[in-house]
């Protein structure tokens, strides 16, 4: 716990704080996984209009893609479902044990 009683890197608390400050934010949520996935269904990442983020939905390049998608969603006000994946062959090439896929829902929230 932090000195204010919140867990460090708590995406939902950060999302609420950013909204209270009048910022537009996006909540990204893992809604489905297949095969190997570093984060389970229900994992969250909060992103604000400046591109600041907290939490995690995956890792590496996927989170960068989620941030980009979140900022686009915030601009147009439209939620969107994305699917990201890596084949077993590509996973082996980059040093991962196996491939997998995740679906992430990005939902823009206005203050």
Query: What pLDDT sits at residue 6?
Result: 43
Instruction: Compute the distance between CA of residue 82 and CA of residue 105 in angstroms, rounded to an integer.
Output: 6
Average pLDDT over residues 37-63: 88
pTM listed for this prediction:
0.80
Instruction: Please check the confidence at residue 95 and state whether its pLDDT lies above 50.
Output: no
Instruction: Among 42-46, 50-54, 58-62, 68-72, name the one with the lowest average pLDDT.
Output: 58-62
How far is CA 47 from its chain centroid?
8
Measured from the Cβ of residue 85, the count of other Cβ atoms closer than 10 Å reads 16
């Amino acid at each position: 716990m932090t000195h204010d009683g919140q867990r460090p890197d708590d995406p939902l608390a950060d999302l609420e704080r950013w909204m209270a400050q009048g910022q537009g934010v996006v909540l990204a949520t893992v809604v489905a996984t297949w095969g190997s996935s570093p984060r389970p269904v229900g994992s969250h990442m909060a992103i604000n209009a400046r591109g600041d983020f907290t939490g995690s939905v995956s890792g590496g390049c996927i989170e960068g893609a989620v941030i980009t998608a979140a900022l686009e969603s915030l601009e147009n006000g439209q939620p969107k479902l994305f699917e990201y994946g890596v084949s077993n062959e590509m996973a082996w090439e980059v040093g991962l044990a196996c491939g997998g896929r995740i679906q992430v829902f990005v939902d823009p929230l206005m203050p």
